[in-house]
Amino acid sequence: MHNNRYTFLYAIAISVITAIILAYTSESLKPQQEANYALDTKSNILKSVLFSSIDKKEIEKAYSESVQELVT
C-alpha cells in the first residue's frame, strides 16, 4: 500500500500540472477573449439603435460604417 507521503506528492503533482495547463490555456485564449469583448461592446452599441444581427461580419461592417468613435 502507499503511504501518506506518496499520496500528498501525487496530489501536489496533479495540482501543479493542472495549474500549468489552465494557465497556458488562459493565456493562449486571451486575444480571442479580448476580440469577443470588443465585438460584444460593438453589438450592444448597435442594439441601442435597433440593429439586430448576430453575424460577426455584419456587426463589424455596420459599426465601421455607422459609428464614429470620439475620445474626449
In tens, the pLDDT along 26-48 reads: 999 999 999 999 999 999 988 88
| Residue recorded with cell 497556458 | 24
3 φψ region: left (φ > 0), alpha (ψ -120 to 50), beta (else) = beta
Predicted confidence at residue 24, as pLDDT, reads 97
In tens, the pLDDT along 3-31 reads: 899 999 999 999 999 999 999 999 999 99
- How many other CB atoms sit within 10 Å of the CB of residue 63? 18
Q: What percent of the chain has pLDDT over 90?
A: 56
| 42 and 63 Cβ atoms separated by less than 8 Å | yes
